[in-house]
Amino acid sequence: MKTISLLGATGSIGTQTLDIIREHPSEFTLAAISVGKNIDLARKMIIEFQPELVSVQDYHDCNTLKAEFPTIKFTFGQEGLIETAVYDKADILVNAVLGSVGLHPTLQAIECGKVIAIANKETLVTAGHLVIEAAQKNNVPLLPVDSEHSAIFQALQGEKEKNIERLILTASGGSFRDFTRQELKNVTVEQALNHPNWSMGAKITIDSASMMNKGLEVIEAHWLFNLPYEKIDVLLHKESIIHSMVEFHDSSIIAQLGTPDMRVPIQYALTYPDRLPLRSSKRLDLASIGKLHFEEMDMARFRCLGFAYEAGKKGGSMPTVLNAANEVAVAAFLEGKIRFLQIEDLIEKALTAHQITTHPSLTAIQEIDKETREYVHSLL
Ligand code: NDP
Ligand code: MG
């Protein structure tokens, strides 16, 4: 029996993690969860899973729930996220919170020796060097949940790092795959939220439409698999059936395939190095799919991907700025404050204005994250 603490339980990855726990009650138990502001859903989860510890975003919600569930421990805010992440009875932390708020809790959980199943890519983008250093120092496994990284991780089982020629991350192209830049000027939030293949949280759906999601994933792959950016490529593959590939020196390519269902990589992270059946997931029927398509990535069309490669290669505090600017810009787009293409403009301005800090500490990262958010807000 593995005991899990789950950050971001009410989100898209969070609820699918609960599906996995529900499907395998004799394998997994849930000890602690964090939620944000969705208290109605949190209530249902508390009743169903009876976690011992629950963290919410706001103090007020914490008090409300305390009164309703007197036997459960409640906590709130950033401290609450940390308390959930390090909860002593849990063996595994599933980090499915959104954004760089996940960084400090992840570092603390690593210090406590928890196995980390990481969906929260912003944490790896904003401070990958700190997370990787801490994981190595504490001998803690970092298991990818993101489907591309899970695919690569699966393709690398039994392989040696020295034999890797390159990683090939596949990209569906998102909601606006077939739009020209002219057409992108007037797209709406509703159109952007309509992803052709995957059902995900709002922020990552917008990131997929802008291709920033793939940019963040390139940086995530750089840290998880310890490879230079020159060895990480992106390929358009509109069906999202091949979740990613690894090419080796001998020209062999190993790919992982499946229907687009995040429960598969979530479960693999939870069962690794073993596997469990996942009866509720649809089997891949290649004969009925018939054809798979691949296209080279157009970097001029998807500027955010270029920004991410550039920020990643410059390193230091640049990816922190990229991520923070993107988080603010995407939130502003979702709130109807800016147009879609202004997301890119804001990120570009933030990157241009930034004076790089090399090998930033946690405090420096937190400070740069905050300053970048303030700077982008000032441009809105
Ligand atoms: P969602 O927006 O669906 O969920 C985010 C979760 O985080 C919710 O539980 C939300 O709480 C909580 N949350 C948000 N902000 C805060 C905060 N400031 N403090 C505390 N809790 C907070 O996101 P997704 O599930 O889509 O994504 C989560 C992470 O996983 C992201 O990093 C994303 O990039 C990554 N990921 C997601 C994939 C997907 O298919 N969805 C695929 C691969 C990676 P509440 O809703 O209660 O307010
Ligand atoms: Mg992904």
Q: Which domain holds residue 278?
A: 149-314
Query: Does the beta carbon of 10 sit less than 6 angstroms from any atom of ligand 1?
Result: yes
Q: DSSP states of 19-48 as a string?
A: HHHHH-TTTEEEEEEE--S-HHHHHHHHHH
Please report whether residue 356 resides in a domain.
Answer: no
Do 126 and 229 lie in one domain? The reply is: no
> Is 77's C-beta closer than 6 angstroms to any atom of ligand 1?
no
Residue 98 has pLDDT above 90, yes or no: yes
Among 271, 299, 314, which residue terminates a domain? 314
33 part of a folded domain: yes
- Note the pLDDT of residue 331: 98
Determine the pLDDT at residue 196: 85
Instruction: Work out which ligand 1 atom sits closest to the CA atom of 56.
Output: 20
98 touches ligand 1 (CB under 6 Å): yes
* DSSP state letter for 3: E
Which residue's CA is the closest to the ligand 1 atom numbered 21? 36
Residue 345 has pLDDT above 90, yes or no: yes
CATH of the domain at 131: 3.40.50.720
Average pLDDT, the chain: 97
Residue 153 and residue 212 share a domain: yes
Q: Are residues 306 and 161 in the same domain?
A: yes
Give the DSSP H or E segment for 324: helix 318-334
Dist CA 54 CA 104 (whole Å): 18
Domain final position from 314, 341, 358: 314
241-265 residue pLDDT tens: 999 999 999 999 999 999 999 999 9
ipTM over the 0.90 cut-off:
yes
Share of the chain above pLDDT 70, in %: 100
Same domain, 23 and 98: yes
Residues 180 and 52 in one domain: no
Query: In this structure, are 80 and 216 located in the same domain?
Result: no
The domain tally of the chain equals: 2
Q: Which atom of ligand 1 is nearest to the CA of 213?
A: 34
Instruction: Note whether residue 125 is domain-resident.
Output: yes
In angstroms, the CA 330 to CA 210 distance is 10
52 and 160 assigned to the same domain: no
**Residues 135 and 172 reside in one and the same domain:** no
Give the other-Cβ count within 10 Å of 357's Cβ: 16
Confidence class for position 95, pLDDT limits 50, 70, 90: very high
228, 193: one domain = yes
The answer as to whether 338 is a domain residue is no
Residue 334 lies in a domain: no
Alpha-carbon gap, residue 124 to 6, rounded angstroms: 17
Report the 10 Å Cβ neighbour count for 6.
33
Q: Residue 120: CB within 6 Å of ligand 1? A: yes
Domain end residue (candidates: 118, 140, 162)? 140
The model's pLDDT over 164-221, given as tens digits with 9 standing for 90+, comes to 999 999 999 999 999 999 999 999 999 999 988 888 999 999 999 999 999 999 999 9
The arithmetic mean of pLDDT across residues 269-291, rounded, is 97
**136 and 155 inside one domain:** no
Q: With 90 as the cut, is the pLDDT of residue 112 above it?
A: yes
Same domain? 70 vs 174: no
pLDDT tens, residue by residue, 124-164: 999 999 999 999 999 999 999 999 999 999 999 999 999 99
Give the pLDDT band of residue 293 (cuts 50, 70, 90).
Answer: very high
Q: Is residue 127 part of a domain?
A: yes
Residues 113 and 176 in one domain: no
pLDDT value, residue 370: 98
**What gap in Å lies between CA 27 and CA 53, rounded to an integer?**
20
